[in-house]
A and B are shown apart, each in its own frame.
Chain A
């Protein structure tokens, strides 16, 4: 087995690390929304897909420079996030008291409504663009595939871009949460929605801001991955969405750093599993991790864990 620890294996680990960063990018937005509303946003994977398609449309029709492309996709993600909140989550926050804000019925109806919205969005995109893979124009996709060699190892420039994006997003999210007024509101609502309302926090606006931030990040993640992989398709959001969810559960639900670490661990584990068992079985890793975590560490590996799971 040790003869497998050759340069090829290290290369696989590096690829796994960048896959893990992709999951982390998705998981950051996911965890942020869960932390504030205590509900699972099943449509987060579709936001990621919308980001990729918005990027594709922008590239085809406008061919903007990189910064403008990023800003356009960010705007599309924010718009999609706000629309999603309006359609799938707002109607279920009719009741203001804490019991119903955290009740089982509320959680499950928003779970189902976001699931329904995600189906509708995915199918609509499929009707418009077709279910097949769509290639990103070469001029943009190639920029993500330039090899950078480090000794014997080869790293694609896209992997560096993903790493940079993950670091920037994580840092900016921490900055928003800890250093700005809106971040203070978000943390207040996450801690206690009713209490936040009593001291004058506008809960609805805060929730919308949370969705805007989380979805903007999800959309940018979708764009980067679409560019890096060179092809996008309507169902692309499902797998990263589920894996980001697994990372969130493993990380303890409310902990963004925990989710990021677990996402990277998941990516590495998948790379190792691919190496030893093949691509098809590697998909099992995430689900096995999920079930093992839920059964043995129901509060997650990094969670404070007061809540009953």
Chain B
């Protein structure tokens, strides 16, 4: 019974308390802030899967987010596709690019992989910026229709919020199930020592490509949500700085920890907004928070060990199952 408590609490906050509070405040700005925070939660969760769990430091995550946003924008403005279709298609296109990029780069380790993803991310940015006939270049694409999937009108602030919250919870579930399974343990083995994992018989390159595909799929979904809720996409939103913002969320929250990714995303979106009175200090605040965290909290605000403890106590059937638990094995 206790196992159901924490998920119920999360659901109650996300689907009852928060929307009720936001509706009572009745402010479009607060709704927008909640939407952006949830979109970045999806992004930081997906990066957590690559960087935190599988240990692949990527510096080009915003590019996949951008591919998702542009796919949704182009499909809905030029083809007139329904938002219920553009969102999954954006995820798939982004995952396709993820696999294409992963195939050559997954043989690289640590710094080299980081820099290769930086280069590929910037390549995607340069393409978005310069392929004017397709992406309208620096002008960006405007007039993206709001969220009306399959005839349901979710374009009101509350409806949009519910859709984004539902998708965020869905990606939380996906990432959680992947990270806290035998599959997730295999990914952690790659992070700790991929040569050793290889020697133990894990298909290292395949695992890396699979996890990259899953994470870029989620990033593409986040991009599509961004495109539909903002109504306008511009290459500058998907630059290196954005990748660093997502990375900072993961690092600040704690590498490898799923609650950490959410805490990090909420902190780095909401804190600069709260500091808005002082001036436009968003990126400066991100840099400072990230630096202080690396220096004083190398494990992050919500470190992996603490997070695993929490999961074991509140969510974990796999650890409690006793002898009748599912058979051991990495999958």
Contact = CB atoms under 8 A, between A and B. Distances in A.
Interface stretch (B167-175, B283-291, B304-312, B319-327): B283-291
Interface in A84-119: 87-88, 91, 104, 107-109, 111-113, 115-119
A21 interface: no
Interface stretch (B79-87, B106-114, B145-153): B106-114
A284 B284 contact: no
Contacts of B130: 278, 280-281
B294 interface: yes
Interface string A265-304: 0000000000000101101101110110011001000000
Contact of B291 (A40, A120, A278): A120
A291 B114 CA distance: 11
Contact of A290 (B119, B251, B286, B298): B119
A309 B290 contact: no
Given A104-B110, A112-B251, A119-B284, A291 B116 contact: yes
Nearest to B101: A291
Given A109-B294, A242-B118, A249-B115, A120 B284 contact: yes
B99 to A, nearest CB: 15
Contact of B126 (A104, A246, A284): A284
A192 interface: no
B295 A91 contact: yes
Interface string B44-86: 0000000000000100000000000000000000000000000
A111 B57 contact: yes
A309 B104 CA distance: 13
Contact of A119 (B109, B120, B122, B244): B244
A287 B130 CA distance: 15
A91 B295 CA distance: 7
A127 B114 CA distance: 29
B287 A123 contact: yes
Contacts of A124: 284
B126 A309 contact: no
A233 interface: no
Contacts of B196: none
B291 A116 contact: yes
Interface in B120-160: 120, 122-123, 126-127, 129-130
A278 B251 CA distance: 38
B314 interface: no
A17 interface: no
Contact of A113 (B129, B247, B291): B291
Contact of B110 (A107, A117, A119): A107
A108 B244 CA distance: 14
Contacts of B230: none
Interface in B225-262: 240-241, 244, 247-248, 251
B185 interface: no
A245 interface: yes
B244 A290 contact: no
A280 B291 contact: no
B181 interface: no
Contact of A40 (B104, B108, B115, B244): B115
B294 A113 contact: yes
A308 interface: yes
Given A120-B284, A287-B119, A295-B104, A111 B291 contact: no
Given A123-B284, A280-B130, A290-B116, A108 B110 contact: yes
B103 to A, nearest CB: 10
A255 to B, nearest CB: 16
Given A109-B298, A123-B284, A287-B123, A295 B105 contact: yes
A294 B110 CA distance: 12
Nearest to B295: A91
A291 B120 contact: yes
A104 B111 CA distance: 9
B40 to A, nearest CB: 17
Given A119-B283, A246-B119, A284-B126, A113 B109 contact: no
A81 to B, nearest CB: 17
A112 B294 contact: yes
B126 A245 contact: no
A128 B209 CA distance: 44
Contacts of A242: 118-119, 122
B105 A291 contact: yes
Contacts of A118: 287
A135 B33 CA distance: 38
Interface string A15-57: 0000000000000000000000000100000000000000000
A245 B116 CA distance: 11
Contacts of A91: 295
Given A109-B294, A242-B122, 18 more contacts: A111-B111, A113-B294, A113-B295, A115-B244, A115-B290, A116-B248, A116-B287, A116-B294, A117-B287, A119-B241, A119-B283, A119-B290, A127-B281, A246-B119, A291-B104, A294-B105, A294-B112, A295-B105
13 contacts: A40-B115, A87-B291, A111-B114, A113-B295, A119-B244, A127-B284, A280-B130, A283-B126, A287-B123, A290-B115, A291-B123, A294-B105, A308-B109
